[in-house]
Homo-oligomer: A and B are copies of this chain.
């Protein structure tokens, strides 16, 4: 696999450019205390800036002007933050980027409205691109964004449905289909598609980016879920084992249901059927140790590696005919970087 040397540098540089545009759209204005002040909270907590950087790098590889790519990337980052605010409400998460979630601080009603505001600010940023892109290409970018957001909402519905139904009979394919929609579309598929759209000035064969984005995004999500179990909470920014507390159907949990003996499976199912507040710390620890016993993390790590390898192969297919550049090396290095992330 490609060395990851260029990755931190590019994330730093494109992240900085994106943050500058994001900040333009989050300037203090009224109503401040219950809306725009809070809308700026998550974006200003930081983040790795993988999504906007992939969007900008792809756009440049295909010949786009960096200025317009940064503006689309900023819209994506704003929409990502809108998703985070609503996801945290929907998953009843307690921490985000090392601090209490927005709804934990300000209540669900205000958080839901702030998420709506962030989505609208993202839409505004996309509409503003029309002056640089012209109305036709501007509309194509909007269409791409609408498709991506739809996939995300559908993925979220599938995952919420599993919790609602206390699903215990899921297969790896179910998980991967959900992750394709919930994570990959907005994290990796859209950045590549939107970048190529900008670089080519309106190319329509964007479906060729779906496989690469799927493999890369799924490897990314699995690594993220592993870090939720084994990571350092200060670096990770969320509660360790939070996914187990939330009853989230990760690949590890799905594997556990496959591997567990019948009595374990029964206890696990009963435990997940309880409301979150009734799950005790000893229950969480039991699930966690059972995952170790059945080597669920190791299994998921291997799956993540296989996906990253597939992403690498797809990447070669997509980009080998293009001249060498830092942007190309950045994209090629992402599959390995995703796995090395701590």
Residues of chain A at the chain B interface (Cβ within 8 Å): 30-31, 33-35, 86, 89-92, 106-110, 112-117, 119-120, 123-124, 127, 130, 134-136, 138-139, 142-143, 146, 149-150, 153-154, 156-158, 160-161, 164
Q: Shortest distance in angstroms between A170's beta carbon and chain B's nearest beta carbon? A: 14
* Chain B residues in 8 Å Cβ range of A109: 89-92, 160
Q: Shortest distance in angstroms between A55's beta carbon and chain B's nearest beta carbon? A: 20
- B130 adjacent to A31 (CB under 8 Å): no
Task: Knowing A31-B157, A109-B90, say if A150 contacts B138 (CB, 8 Å).
Answer: no
12 contacts between A and B (CB under 8 A): A31-B158, A86-B112, A86-B113, A90-B112, A106-B164, A107-B164, A110-B157, A110-B161, A113-B157, A116-B149, A123-B149, A135-B139
- A120 adjacent to B150 (CB under 8 Å): yes
* Chain B residues in 8 Å Cβ range of A116: 86, 119, 149, 153
- A160 adjacent to B34 (CB under 8 Å): yes
* Chain B residues in 8 Å Cβ range of A92: 109
* Chain B residues in 8 Å Cβ range of A143: 127
* Chain B residues in 8 Å Cβ range of A134: 135
* Chain B residues in 8 Å Cβ range of A110: 90, 157, 160-161, 164
A86 and B119 CA atoms in complex are apart in Å by 14
- B160 adjacent to A113 (CB under 8 Å): yes
The closest CB in chain B to the CB of A139 belongs to: B135
- B120 adjacent to A164 (CB under 8 Å): no
A111 and B304 CA atoms in complex are apart in Å by 32
Q: Shortest distance in angstroms between A151's beta carbon and chain B's nearest beta carbon? A: 10
* Chain B residues in 8 Å Cβ range of A34: 157-158, 160-161, 164
A164 and B113 CA atoms in complex are apart in Å by 13
* Chain B residues in 8 Å Cβ range of A142: 127, 142
A89 and B127 CA atoms in complex are apart in Å by 29
Task: Knowing A124-B150, A135-B139, A153-B120, say if A31 contacts B113 (CB, 8 Å).
Answer: no
A154 and B157 CA atoms in complex are apart in Å by 27
A164 and B110 CA atoms in complex are apart in Å by 9
* Chain B residues in 8 Å Cβ range of A135: 134-136, 138-139
The closest CB in chain B to the CB of A145 belongs to: B123
* Chain B residues in 8 Å Cβ range of A113: 86, 90, 153, 156-157, 160
A139 and B137 CA atoms in complex are apart in Å by 11
A117 and B155 CA atoms in complex are apart in Å by 11
A120 and B185 CA atoms in complex are apart in Å by 15
* Chain B residues in 8 Å Cβ range of A106: 164
* Chain B residues in 8 Å Cβ range of A139: 127, 130, 135, 138-139
- A146 adjacent to B160 (CB under 8 Å): no
Contact partner of A35 among B33, B119, B130, B154, CB < 8 A? B154
Contact partner of A161 among B33, B153, B154, B160, CB < 8 A? B33
